[in-house]
Amino acid sequence: MDETKTISAGKALAERLKDKDFGEIIPRQEIEEITKTRWKTSRYYGAISKANDILTEEGKRIAPTGKGGDYQILYPGDYSDAYVQEIKRAKKCVTRGDKIIRGAPVNQMTADERQRYNNVADFHNRMQAQISGSYVEVKRLAGKKMHPLEAGLQ
Percentage with pLDDT > 90 across the chain: 62
CA 5 to the chain's CA centroid: 22
Q: According to the model, what pLDDT value does residue 144 have?
A: 62
Q: Does domain 3-74 have CATH number 1.20.1340.10?
A: no
Q: Are strands 62-64 and 25-26 parallel, antiparallel or unpaired?
A: unpaired
Mean pLDDT throughout 57-84?
Answer: 91
CA distances, 108 to each of 16, 75, 104, 105 (Å): 55, 53, 9, 6
Which tens digits make up the pLDDT trace of 93-149? 888 999 999 999 999 999 999 999 999 999 999 988 888 888 788 878 877 655 555
Contact present, 118 and 145 (Cβ < 8 Å)? no
The average confidence (pLDDT) of the chain is 88
